[in-house]
Structure 1
Amino acid sequence: MKGAAIYFSGTGNTKYVVELLVKEFQEKNIQCEMIDILKEKGVSKEYDFYVLASAIHVEVFPDIFVRWIKENLPSVDNKRCIIVSTQASYIGYGGRQINKLLSNKGYDVMITRSIPMPNNYYLSKFFKETPKDRKKEMKEEAVLEVKNIVDKFLKDEGYIEKQSALLTAVSKAAYKVSLKHFHKWPKKSLKVDYNRCTKCKRCVNECPTNNITFGDEIEFSNKCISCFRCVQKCPANAFLYKNKHFNQM
């Protein structure tokens, strides 16, 4: 068999889990290729199985991931599929959100799982950084969960995580409202410490929505999705929120 692991990752949690999945398949002599939706515009329909993985934003998969699936994932004839989400929350899950979409494209969704990972979004008293010890535990738990996913998949066993239609609908509505805030918050709330900034332009080059430009200074547009890649991956930790530097994850 040969599979494709298609993913969207903001600061690296989802990429870490996908790497674990690929490694687990490879250890069982099954090829599985990683496909980053920010780098690839499409995917072949000749794979034997597909993994779809993304971070959760406001309890659902972000539009950037769902839109890629709609526009770039080919229709197939009953190909098996795994859906994985990574999230700091234990409440929401985006699997139900795309199950019907995948079914209409000819995919047999066998497994849907959410894997808790360290929180990368901490801006207020409601969103706290994950404690160091817990971060280590979550990474170890992710390894075990991935082994379980691959084992059940290869045994052709269903492993579906349930979510109510009501919770999905509420979460999707909340996400749409939140997006309006996400689009504008960097322009309103982020500043740059130019004594630290090296003008490497990593934030510009890695922003998934091309929301950042750099002339004499960094400027933000209104396309942010709050993935936090810019602030968490800045090699100089030059971004400021409420005049403080981030404790980068």
Structure 2
Amino acid sequence: MNKALILYFSGTRNTKYIAQLFKKAFEARNIQVDIYDILKYDAAGNKTKYDYLVAGSPIYVELYPEIFITNIKKKVAKNTKIKAIFFATQAAKSLTPSFNEVYNYYKNSDVEITCTDYFRMPNNFYNFLFTKTPVSQYRSLLDNASKKVELITDEFLSGSRNIKKASNARYYFTKVMYALSYKFYIPSAAGKVSINSDRCVKCKACEKNCPTKSLDINSSTPVLKTCIMCQKCMNNCSQNAFMYKNKEFDVYKPIES
């Protein structure tokens, strides 16, 4: 039986949702699947030989976040003989340069990328920037994603190629914007995050689950400059104790809608 490895990075569960759809689609086609949060995947300790790889992340400033890029390069070596799909989740309606880095990195290697594609999902950054996707649109976006996973899976397993990527010129320009955002805008936004002491029960689950160890809930400025704004802490707080600009955080809950 063929085997597939699915790796994902997810802050607000959009990407995890798509990864689980791929798991279901592959299993329906009699392919054994192992699925991992890429931060928890132990590549060195896993001796399983996989035939297929599906890897995905949300886009941050139109690119895969550095945390995903670092981990995928570390945990999927260029000499790994495997056929791969890379996907991204985004609110944007059009193609971004998110795939360029992985495509360029694995080009002419044993990692054969034959599909790169994105999934439109509800905007999850509305607390900080952009407009919130109307809740009435959530279900159609999720349903469209499910249909797209089925189509991509069939095309991928049939041997078809479907590479979507932007020009390298746009990619390098976007890399500059990404760097500037993480030097100026993201630290500024993170500095406006606070914790409602009347709600916080000091469970510290947010600190434990922070992928960049950027939280200190006992500080007056709990979010450190290393924060990447994945929002995992804010959207998974059982008490909804996080605030932005001293206002209650509007928790993102697309899957339950």
Specify the alignment match of 1:33 in structure 2: 34
Q: Normalization by structure 1: what TM-score?
A: 0.92
Question: How do 1:161-176 and structure 2 match up within 5 A?
Answer: 161-176=164-179
1-structure distance, mates of 2:81, 2:66: 25
Tell me the CA shift for residue 117 of structure 1. 0.8
Structure 1 range deviating more: 183-192 or 193-202: 183-192
Specify the alignment match of 2:105 in structure 1: 101
Q: Normalization by structure 2: what TM-score?
A: 0.89
Q: How many residues align?
A: 248
2-structure distance, mates of 1:135, 1:44: 39
Asked if structure 2 preserves the Cα contact closer than 8 Å seen for 1:93 and 1:114, the reply is no
Tell me the CA shift for residue 218 of structure 1. 7.2
Specify the alignment match of 2:116 in structure 1: 112
Q: CA 1:11–1:44 in 2, change beyond 3 Å: closer, same or farther? A: farther
Tell me the CA shift for residue 190 of structure 1. 0.8
> Quick one: which amino acid aligns to residue 19 of structure 1?
Q
Equivalent position SS for 1:168:
helix
Specify the alignment match of 1:17 in structure 2: 18
Q: CA 1:81–1:44 in 2, change beyond 3 Å: closer, same or farther? A: farther
Question: How do 1:169-208 and structure 2 match up within 5 A?
Answer: 169-181=172-184, 184-185=187-188, 188-208=191-211
Specify the alignment match of 1:151 in structure 2: 154
Q: CA 1:100–1:215 in 2, change beyond 3 Å: closer, same or farther? A: same
Asked if structure 1 preserves the Cα contact closer than 8 Å seen for 2:191 and 2:223, the reply is no
Q: CA 1:177–1:153 in 2, change beyond 3 Å: closer, same or farther? A: same
Ranges in structure 2 where 5+ consecutive residues have no aligned partner: 253-257
When the two chains are superposed, the root-mean-square deviation of aligned CA atoms in Å is: 1.9
Select which of 188, 199, 213 maps to 1:210.
Answer: 213
Select which of 79, 92, 97 maps to 2:82.
Answer: 79
Q: CA 1:45–1:112 in 2, change beyond 3 Å: closer, same or farther? A: farther
Structure 1 range deviating more: 11-20 or 64-73: 64-73
Question: How do 1:130-141 and structure 2 match up within 5 A?
Answer: 130-141=133-144
> Quick one: which amino acid aligns to residue 247 of structure 1?
D
Tell me the CA shift for residue 217 of structure 1. 6.8
Asked if structure 2 preserves the Cα contact closer than 8 Å seen for 1:191 and 1:239, the reply is yes
Specify the alignment match of 1:232 in structure 2: 235
Ranges in structure 1 where 5+ consecutive residues have no aligned partner: none
1:133-160 alpha-carbon deviations (Å, 9 max, x no partner): 1111111111001001101011111122
Tell me the CA shift for residue 213 of structure 1. 2.4
